[in-house]
A and B are shown apart, each in its own frame.
Chain A
Amino acid sequence: MSWENSLPLLIFLSSFAPGLVIFVLDEEQHTLRTVLNLFGAVAKLAMVGAMIVGLLEDKVYETRLPLLPGVDLVLRADPLSMLFITLSASLWMVTTLYAIGYLEHAPNRSRFFGFFSLCVSSTMGIALAGNPLTFLIFYEMLTICTYPLVVHRGTPQAMLGGRVYLIYTLTGGAVLLLAVVGLFVLAGPVEFTDGGALDAVAAGNADALRWLFLLFIGGLGVKAALVPLHGWLPRAMVAPAPVSALLHAVAVVKAGAFGIVRVIYDLYGVNLAHDLGVLDPLLIVACITVIVGSLFALNQDDLKKRLAYSTVSQVSYIIIGVATFGLLGSIGGLLHLVYQGIMKITLFFCAGNFAETLGIHKVSEMDGVGRRMPLTMAAFTIGAFGMIGAPPTVGFISKWFLGVGSLAAESGWVLAVLLTSSALNAAYFLPILHRGWFKPQQGEWPEEHSYGRLETHWMLLFPPAITGVLVILLGVFANMPTGLLQWVEILILREYRL
């Protein structure tokens, strides 16, 4: 196997192997565990970087192992997978740092970081999967590896949240399995291809393909938290903050959304999906999800739950983008895949900091928190403005494309949905900002810890600071050469076969 062809596997192994080693480490081998974690994260980032450079030079990175008759286990780098993998590799790095600080004195750290690494490995597998079966394998592996993280605290609520999580995701996985096998029976061993892979079988099988599309969306929609399949997400909030951050920004929810993107662009092909008429129903579901998620978020006093419903809403922006037939909307959707991750992870980091430093879990306890923890609150503010879609944050860019895209596709009502959603976003985020910055502190903090000169532990403070700055920088320099926007434009042109 040449260097190029083993690179995708190595990227997977760079977190998988440390994960396995971490399991057998003693609780007290703190340093070794940290070194392994960070080494894996850095190595992964370096390999992803090398891969991006290689892809620009038209190199092919593909690992292929025989798995089942006619179907290989395929890990392949293409522009879309690079989008997702760059996001998850970078955010993993940041989250690892955060998690080390967050769990400094918590029990069962070996178990936690072991599954944490496996979780990220599965995400890498999902990103690099070159055919539906490979995708399914890592998708299910992600389900399994995330469960121990969700129930990590072992409390009754955690167990309940974990159970609900498994019921939803395993059922979704079973539906996805049926879709994958059904497609295999119908079309043989197809692989993800730019512009779609099913043109050969499309003639005469339109109805079968529509049913399969329904199964695919049904299976993937659970993780992507499409209404009404979103019920697990708020319950899974019992997980420790770094897990929530990862779940919402790069791993589980994003895996579902990414899967939908893959199915539409690289399996069916956006043109075929448009011809089959399956995009419009999906668009409607996504719009409902956007509105319903925001409405639920309004009433949550629990900060993490409010963020969770916000995720339900925001992830469907991605779906709106890909379900809008037209270049601009598609660009907006893919941009949001990346941007939502960065913004949401910032918000969850901040929520974790409030909880860990001051014992604040509820919005109603946040009065005056901006004076006690100004940096964290600043990062939170940036994230919130991003979610609302205010310039110059990245959230503005993706919403702009989505809005213009919906007009271009002559579905103006989608624009109305987007505007309503922005108003709702403002309605549930601005009161938090108001409380934090402008209201005076009421009595003691629920459970305050002191960390010396800084407002909180440095390992907790750095990650949201970094991602918060990114939210602005990427927004301001969105159109820089070889930047994200250009990458996405090239990608979308290939998907539309233009």
Chain B
Amino acid sequence: MFFDAAFWLPLAIMAPLTTALLLFLLPRRSGLLTVIGAAATIATVFLATLLVIQNGAARHTLGGWGAPLGIDLTADGLTVLMLALTAIVGAAITLYAHGYFTHPVHDATARTRYANFWPLWFFLWAALNALFLSGDVFNLYVTLELVSFAAVALTALAGKPAVLAAAMRYLLVGLLGSLFYLMGVVFLYGGFGVLDIAALGAVVTATPALAAAAALITVGLAMKTALFPLHFWLPPAHANATAPVSALLSALVIKGSFYILLRVWLGVLYPLGETIAPYLLMALGAAALLWGSLQAIRQTRLKLLVAYSTVAQIGYLFLLMPLLLAERNNLVALAGVVCFMLAHATAKASAFLSAGAIQLATGDDRLASLRGLMQIMPAPVAAFAMAGVSLVALPPSGGFVAKWFMLDATLASGYWVVALVIVAGGLMAAVYIMRVLAPLFRQVETVEARRVEHVPLSMNLSAFGLAVLAILLSFTGVYVLEILAIGAPWVTEAGL
């Protein structure tokens, strides 16, 4: 039993969920509870991951009911990669948040409000794990909403009017998107009579119902993933939230809705792979990359710049859609997309965390005020620089591995224009990252005039650790490819 990955799947959801409930009930014990809860979640996730890598894909029938009536949790290579990513990034952000939210620069009311971070974050963690483990399209809807609710509440935590407005817009766009998705699910069920992804994959054909479902699902999820031109809600929400929340939103929450899009297209909507839809997504991805990068270059505030960088980098995720769908066993293209998610999550989280540390210490996030900070706070600066290397996708870094796979896949299939877009995106990223890094090298006349707040070790450690991880991911390409092959998403036999 313990050596069966299926045993651990529900526990990977239960551990953070129980912690979240306990944190609601016992807010005074949050220090201890978060440590135990995070440790338990990480332990279950890693057991599940190791067992899936060792024994292959796993499926857990909740309550023994089984599909089509019951709810199944499934875990293949892609699932465990996302679970592990969430666990690692989540652990770092948990560590960071302990330093950030209790920092003396916050007044007493703010700190009381921030206490709500803990239950909400563990709730989000549970929802994300549930999302990655969900095996049917309706269950994915529910988890999508759960993620969304937790994310909106976390965004609102900052309490300022601007952030409340951003959270409100985020919620409304999210609801719009998920109702589109739900309508698409209705069409899928109406057309094919099942909800389980594997079962659907076995019976789908290119009917009008499938096309309608594809349109609704894609629009809804593109909205939630902030694909250009539906990205307008993202920058204010990500930039105005508190730093740990910004990191969570950019690193993990965005990946949740994209994960659903990827799963549904690869597993269910693939008969439409030869239509114009994937090319449209590719074009929007390219537009997102170029437009988002231009906007990032134009920003004068650090966190807005990083947020627009997310808008740009989401574009990379969509660039390979035609490749993924035209040749459904294009593992290299899939590895490119997945490696990109891993690299972006670690690097972007680190970028937001280090930007947050700088903002907390200086009380200012204008780019102009970064001058000469390198001597004063070297740790966040170094973390941001290393994260930047990965975002620009220079070697050696996780971002480079993703870019390598993407270029390999596109050039091998003759999409050299896409390859050029990928390269151009990297160069534009270099421009906006240098807009942050260059002022740090500027000579300052009066070093001692800069008074900055103390940044706790926990914050520096987590931002730096994630940045180092973003660099070290450069050695993981081979393993990602192997893990992805485990029960690859296009395995269509129902019930595995």
On whether A and B touch (CB less than 8 Å), the answer reads: yes
Q: Which residues of A contact B (CB under 8 A)?
A: 23, 65-69, 108, 111, 133, 136-137, 140-141, 143-144, 148, 151-155, 159, 162-163, 166, 170-171, 173-174, 177-178, 181-182, 184-185
CB–CB B394/A182 < 8 A: no
Of the candidates B412, B426, B438, the one whose C-beta lies within 8 Å of that of A174 is B426
- Asked if B434 is an interface residue, CB under 8 A from chain A, the answer is yes
Q: Known pairs A69-B478, A181-B404. 4 more at Cβ < 8 A?
A: A148-B441, A153-B443, A162-B441, A181-B408
Task: List chain A residues, Cβ under 8 A from B374.
Answer: 111
- Interface residue from A141, A151, A166, A185 paired with B395 (Cβ < 8 Å): A141
Task: Report whether B441 and A159 are in contact in the complex, using a CB–CB cutoff of 8 Å.
Answer: yes
Do B438 and A151 have beta carbons less than 8 Å apart?
Answer: yes
**Are A174 and B427 within 8 A (Cβ)?**
yes
- B396, A162: Cβ atoms closer than 8 Å: no
Contacts of B179 in A (CB 8 A): none
Bound CA–CA A444/B404 (angstroms): 58
Beta-carbon contact of A166 and B441 below 8 Å: no
**Top 8 closest pairs, chain A to chain B, by CB:** A154-B443, A137-B395, A181-B407, A68-B477, A185-B411, A174-B423, A151-B441, A185-B412
A170-B430, A185-B411 in contact; A177/B423 too (CB < 8 A)?
Answer: yes
- Does B272 lie at the interface of the complex (its beta carbon under 8 Å from any beta carbon of A)? no
With contacts A111-B374, A163-B434 taken as known, whether A173 is within 8 angstroms of B394 at the C-beta atoms is yes
CB neighbours of A159 from chain B (8 A): 438, 441-442
Indicate if B401 sits at the interface (CB-CB under 8 A): yes
- In chain B, positions 368-415 with a C-beta closer than 8 Å to chain A are 372, 374-375, 382, 389, 394-396, 400-401, 403-405, 407-408, 411-412
CB of B396 within 8 A of CB of A141, answer yes
- Bound-state CA distance A32–B128 (Å) is 49
Q: Determine the chain B residues whose CB is within 8 A of the CB of A155 once the complex forms.
A: 443
Q: How far is the CB of A173 from chain B (nearest CB, A)?
A: 7
Q: Which B residues fall within an 8 A CB radius of A?
A: 332, 372, 374-375, 382, 389, 394-396, 400-401, 403-405, 407-408, 411-412, 419-420, 423, 426-427, 430, 434, 438, 441-444, 474-475, 477-478, 481
Across-interface contacts of A171 in B (CB, < 8 A): 427
A selection of 23 A-B contacts at a CB cut-off of 8 Å is A67-B477, A68-B401, A68-B405, A69-B478, A69-B481, A111-B374, A137-B396, A137-B400, A152-B441, A154-B441, A154-B442, A154-B444, A159-B438, A162-B438, A163-B434, A170-B427, A173-B394, A174-B426, A181-B404, A181-B411, A181-B419, A184-B408, A185-B411
What B residues does A69 contact at CB under 8 A?
332, 477-478, 481
Contact of A144 among B389, B408, B412, B427 (CB under 8 A): B389
A236 CA to B284 CA, complexed, in Å:
39
Q: Check A68/B404 contact, CB under 8 A, given A162-B438, A174-B426.
A: yes
B297 CB to closest chain A CB (Å) equals 13
Contact of A67 among B394, B423, B478 (CB under 8 A): B478
Docked pose: A108 CA to B419 CA in angstroms: 40
In the complex, chain A residues whose CB is within 8 Å of the CB of B426: 174
Which chain B residues lie closer than 8 Å to A162 at the CB level?
438, 441
Q: Are B394 and A144 in contact (CB under 8 A)?
A: yes
Chain A min CB distance to B81 (Å): 16
Closest to B430 in A: A170
Write out the residue numbers on chain B whose beta carbons fall within 8 Å of the beta carbon of A163.
434, 438
In the complex where A140-B395, A166-B434 touch, is A67 in contact with B427 (Cβ < 8 A)? no
Residues of B within 8 A of A111 (CB): 374
Residues of A within 8 Å of B442, CB to CB, are 154, 159
B195 to chain A, nearest CB (A): 35
CB contact between A66 and one of B419, B427, B478 (< 8 Å): that residue: B478
B383 to A: closest C-beta gap in Å = 13
Closest-by-CB residue of A relative to B396 is A137
Nearest Cβ in chain B — how far from A162, in angstroms? 7
> A residues within 8 A CB of B427?
170-171, 174
A155→B445 CA distance, assembly (Å): 11
Minimum C-beta distance from A205 to chain B (A): 14
A178 and B407 contact, CB distance less than 8 A:
yes
Once bound together, how far apart are the Cα atoms of A12 and B370, in whole Å?
Answer: 34
B contact residues around A66 at 8 Å (CB): 475, 478
Q: Which of B427, B443, B478 has the most CB of A within 10 A?
A: B443
By a CB distance below 8 angstroms, the chain B residues around A151 are: 438, 441
Instruction: Compute how far the CA of A65 lies from the CA of B474 in the bound complex, rounded to whole angstroms.
Output: 12
> What separation, in Å, do the CA atoms of A177 and B395 have in the docked complex?
10
Asked if A136 and B395 make an inter-chain contact with CB atoms under 8 angstroms apart, the answer reads: yes
- What distance in Å separates the Cβ of B288 from its nearest Cβ neighbour in chain A? 20
Chain B residues within an 8 Å CB radius of A166 = 430, 434
Measured in the bound complex, the distance between the Cα atoms of B441 and A108 in whole Å is: 10
* CA–CA, A174 and B420, complex, Å: 10
- Please report the C-alpha to C-alpha distance between residue A153 and residue B401 in the assembled complex, in whole angstroms: 34
Distance between B259 CB and nearest chain A CB, rounded to angstroms = 23
Chain A residue nearest to B426 in the complex (CB): A174
* Chain A residues within 8 Å of B389, by CB: 144
Which residues of chain A come closer than 8 Å to B407, judged between CB atoms? Answer: 177-178, 181
Chain A residues within 8 Å of B405, by CB: 68
Distance (whole angstroms) from the CB of B481 to the closest CB of chain A = 5
Chain A residue with the shortest CB-CB distance to B423: A174
Q: Which of A68, A143, A181 contacts B478 (CB 8 A)?
A: A68
Are A67 and B430 in contact (CB-based, < 8 A)?
A: no
Complexed CA–CA distance, A155 and B407 (Å): 38
Residues of chain A within 8 A (CB-CB) of B478 are: 66-69
Q: How far is the CA of A259 from the CA of B438 in the complex (A)?
A: 28
In the complex, which residues of chain B have a beta carbon less than 8 angstroms from the beta carbon of A141? 394-396
A128 CB to closest chain B CB (Å) equals: 15
